[in-house]
C-alpha cells in the first residue's frame, strides 16, 4: 500500500487510500501545483439490468473542483487502454456534462523529466 503524506490541496474528509503508486504520484503533483483535488468522490452508474440494479459502475480516481474535471489515472501503455477508454466513452454518453480525462503514466513521467520526480515502478 503506498504511503499517504499530509496533503495540502486535498479537499476530502477521510484520508485517501490509493490503489497504486501512480495515483499517489498524481496526488503529489496536484498538491505541488496547489490544485484542489478529491479522491474518488463519485461513482457513476453506467449499466443497469431490467430491475434497475447496477451492472456496471465507474469511480474516476480524482476530481478537480476548480476545473470541474475528473481524472482517471492509468499506468498502462496508451495502446493498451482500450477497455478504460470504452468506459470513459460510456460515461460521456450517459453523463454528457461530466468532464473527464485520462492521465497517463507518461504524463507523470514527463512532469518527472521536468522536475526530477521519481516515479516508483
Partner 1 sequence: MPSDDRIGEIYLSAEELAARVAELGAQIAADYAGREPLLVASLKASFVFLADLTRAIPILHHVDFVELAGYSSDETGGTAAIRFLKDLDAPIHGRDVLIVEDVIDTGLTLNYLVRTFGHRSPRSLAAVTLLDRPYRRLVEDLPVHYVGFTVPDEFFVGYGFDVDELYRNLPDLHILRPAS
Using CB under 8 A as the criterion, which residues of the chain lie in contact with partner 1 when the complex forms?
Answer: 3, 5-8, 27-29, 31-35, 64, 67, 69, 71, 78, 101, 103, 106-107, 109-118
Instruction: Find the shortest distance in angstroms from Cβ 56 to partner 1.
Output: 26
The vertex-16 CA angle with 105 and 60, nearest 5°, equals 50
Instruction: Find the shortest distance in angstroms from Cβ 28 to partner 1.
Output: 5
- Measured from the CB atom, the residue of 13 and 113 that comes closer to partner 1 is 113
Sign of CA dihedral 33, 38, 40, 43: negative
- Measured from the CB atom, the residue of 41 and 46 that comes closer to partner 1 is 41
Do 102 and 74 contact (CB within 8 A), yes or no?
Answer: yes
Instruction: Find the shortest distance in angstroms from Cβ 57 to partner 1.
Output: 24
Instruction: Find the shortest distance in angstroms from Cβ 120 to partner 1.
Output: 12
- Measured from the CB atom, the residue of 67 and 85 that comes closer to partner 1 is 67
Do 92 and 100 contact (CB within 8 A), yes or no?
Answer: yes
- Measured from the CB atom, the residue of 9 and 46 that comes closer to partner 1 is 9
Nearest-CA neighbor of 30 among 58, 54, 55, 65? Answer: 65
Nearest-CA neighbor of 28 among 90, 82, 78, 103? Answer: 103
Amino acid at each position: 500500500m503506498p504511503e499517504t503524506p499530509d496533503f495540502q490541496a486535498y479537499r476530502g474528509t477521510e484520508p485517501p487510500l490509493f490503489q497504486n503508486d501512480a495515483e499517489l504520484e498524481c496526488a503529489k503533483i496536484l498538491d505541488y501545483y496547489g490544485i484542489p483535488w478529491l479522491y474518488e468522490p463519485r461513482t457513476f452508474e453506467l449499466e443497469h439490468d431490467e430491475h434497475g440494479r447496477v451492472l456496471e459502475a465507474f469511480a474516476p480516481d480524482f476530481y478537480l473542483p476548480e476545473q470541474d474535471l475528473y481524472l482517471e489515472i492509468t499506468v498502462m501503455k496508451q495502446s493498451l487502454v482500450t477497455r478504460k477508454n470504452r468506459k470513459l466513452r460510456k460515461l460521456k454518453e450517459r453523463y454528457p456534462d461530466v468532464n473527464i480525462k485520462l492521465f497517463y503514466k507518461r504524463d507523470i513521467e514527463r512532469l518527472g523529466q521536468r522536475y526530477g520526480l521519481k516515479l516508483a515502478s
